[in-house]
Amino acid sequence: MAEDIKTRLIEVAGEAFAVKGFDAVGIREICHKAGANVAAVNYHFGDKRGLYRACLEHAQSCRVEGLDRPAWPESYTPADKLRAFIQRMLEEKLNTERPAWHQELMLRELSRPSESCREFVESYIRPMAHALGEIMQEIYPHREWTQQTWMIGFSIVGQVLFYQLQQPVIRILMGEEGFKSLTVDGLTDHITRFSLAALGNGDPISVDLQREIETN
């Protein structure tokens, strides 16, 4: 019963924090919607800040398996690993089955950081950055981790985030039919080919465009 109340508090509070932000949500409002006593927040989480951290941790725990600590098949080349990393990230960011507040709360924390931001970045984002960095070091085995390495990683991740955050723009520009044609597999293929071409480890994009012209 206690765990049910704890879970209910996280679900209700997480959605409220995602929509309104930490400061605009009161403990009494959360407890009223969750059907819980105010004392339950102190018992399970210590205080409102502890409840907020628990909501962030819960949102993080629903990530795609293997994105932060991937175990690659021995046969995978660095390009295969990059493709798999991009695909897993797209599957997580474009997942419509998980509660919307998970992504919304994490995005709010990153765009309007609270005192929990550093802990969130270290526990959720840095492991992914490390996994992508290891792939980059395999692509460039004799290159040290530099500012350029970070920027390349940001550019790759930024492509994924565009398709998560700019869906209304894509719908308007491409139309509903065009938007629906964008599958995870198709986006994975495009982002991987585009990134490898930019890194000098794949065919130039112009080659792919020429193939498309010849096919059509």
H/E segment holding residue 150: helix 147-165
Reported pTM: 0.86
Query: Taking the CB of residue 178, how many other CB atoms lie within 10 A of it?
Result: 11
Question: Which one of 1.10.3470, 3.90.1200, 3.30.450, 1.10.357 gives the CATH number of domain 64-215?
Answer: 1.10.357
Q: CATH fold of 2-60, please?
A: Arc Repressor Mutant, subunit A (1.10.10)
pLDDT of residue 207: 58
pLDDT at 143 over 60: yes
pLDDT of residue 12: 97
At residue 19's C-alpha, the angle toward residues 17 and 24, to 5°, is 55
6-27 pLDDT tens trace: 999 999 999 999 999 999 999 9
Residue ranges of domains in the chain: 2-60, 64-215
pLDDT at 211 over 70: no
